[in-house]
Amino acid sequence: MDLDLNFRHEIKHEITYSDMITIRQRLSAVAYLDPNAVDGKYAIRSLYFDNLSDKALREKIDGVNIREKFRIRYYKGDTSDIHLEKKSKLNSLGNKQSAPLTEKQAQLIVDGNLDWMPHSLHPLIRELYTKMTTEGLRPKTIVDYTREPFVFPAGNVRVTIDYDIRTGLACTDFLNKNCVTVPASQAIILEVKWDAFLPDIIRDAVSLESRREGAFSKYATCRIYG
């Protein structure tokens, strides 16, 4: 992992439905809705990668402090805007690197047709190619969920509330909108990300006396079926 990357602070809580209503009302009064949201929310579909020994899954479950995972993602059902992402974690800090993919390129990766990847202009695509060919990284599972995103300029804060988490089971046909997904968890996840500081107004808005920082993983949750 490149420790020179620009990492952001990240905290994550599993909250109740009542908590969600309270925090949503607070944030609506002090923060801004992400302009990409439609009626305050949008759908996310991700395809996560892992190797034959489930390295990414095991490191998450075991609480390894330095880890990374790859995924392909699109929003709002719009397959004209797909990105390959690498999420790196260093304790409670996180970094996300991204590279655009065309719909055709994404399908080629899903199908295991990788010959074009080492010629890509994007280093992240070349890195995924290397890890697919040397470490056995492969598409593992689809993860769908709904997100309510809020932003706050000071501190470059982003607060998200995620729910309706669904898994594609063994299906990795990422671009097939008819791929059946089933509920994987009823959990509601609050995540807060910021740069150098978290403004008090946001800290107060998301504070819940009964909640503690957790380590909930949508990917790990969606792997319960295999």
Higher pLDDT, 220 or 128: 128
Residue with tokens 């995540």: 191
What pLDDT score was predicted for residue 143?
A: 94
What pLDDT score was predicted for residue 44?
A: 97
What pLDDT score was predicted for residue 216?
A: 81
Distance CA(138)–CA(133), nearest Å, equals 9
Q: CA triplet 164, 169, 170: central angle to 5 degrees?
A: 150
Q: Are strands 82-90 and 93-101 parallel, antiparallel or unpaired?
A: antiparallel
The size of the chain, in residues, is: 226
Contact 151/34 with Cβ under 8 angstroms?
A: yes
| Predicted structure pTM score | 0.92
What pLDDT score was predicted for residue 1?
A: 53
Distance CA(190)–CA(166), nearest Å, equals 17
* DSSP string computed for 95-138: EEEEEEE-HHHHHHHHHT--TTGGG-S-HHHHHHHHHHHHS--E
pLDDT at 3 over 60: no
The first and second tokens of residue 225, run together, are 């079926």
What is the tens place of the pLDDT at every residue in 163-217?
Answer: 999 998 778 899 987 888 899 999 999 999 999 999 999 999 999 876 666 668 8
What pLDDT score was predicted for residue 215?
A: 67
pLDDT at 4 over 70: no
| CA-based nearest residue to 83, from 53, 128, 113, 114 | 128
What is the tens place of the pLDDT at every residue in 97-138?
Answer: 999 999 999 999 999 999 999 999 999 999 999 999 999 999
